[in-house]
Amino acid sequence: MATPEHETAASARSPWFPVALKVAGIAALMTGLAGIGAASMILGDGGVAVARGAAPSAASAEPEPEPPTPARVAADRARAPSAAVTADGKVILNLAEADDLRRLPGVGKRRAEAIIELRGRLKRFRRVSDLLRVRGLGVRALRRITPLVVLDPPPNGVDAGADAGGGADAGGGR
């Protein structure tokens, strides 16, 4: 028959002994916390007070800006008319300043500055696809931007929509 000392020594050598000890300790801790919670419910005013629907702190009182949506871009266009924006709200690439370019989807402050810098190097954009030379502006972004831009202002008395379909890109490379 095994002695109690022998059983204790054998269990101490088991690889599961440290794991079982940790589990027992965690269970005892959780039981203690549950007891504290039950005691506070019985003796206190309904347990621990948890703020629900608290007013935001001063740091979080100002909401974070939302990403631009097509409706928001359209509202921005309607709000501030510019010489670099046509009557139908299209941005004129060869006249646009950084604020005008920032109305376009995917164009922030840095990308707008990069577009202006590229326009300065090229002297003027000859086709909308020249924008592909801007770092970080790829084919997908160009597809989203193209319907919202024109190269030059439309001549007086001509609808801007008629110019959008037959601009410098439509002629091909001949």
Q: What is the CATH number of the domain that holds 107?
A: 1.10.150.320
Q: According to the model, what pLDDT value does residue 30 have? A: 94
Residue spans of the chain under pLDDT 70: 1-12, 44-82, 157-174
C-alpha distances in Å from residue 47, one per residue of 44, 130, 133:
6, 66, 63
pLDDT for 161 equals: 47
Q: 150-174 burial, b if ≥16 CB within 10 A, otherwise e?
A: bbebbeeeeebeebbeebeeeeeee
What is the predicted pLDDT for the residue at 27?
95
Predicted confidence at residue 51, as pLDDT, reads 61
Q: How many domains does the chain have?
A: 1
Query: Is residue 88 in a domain?
Result: yes
pLDDT given at position 173: 45
Phi, then psi, of 126 in degrees rounded to 5: -100, -25
108 is a domain residue: yes
Residue 140: domain span: 70-151
At 31 the pLDDT is 94
What pLDDT sits at residue 156? 74
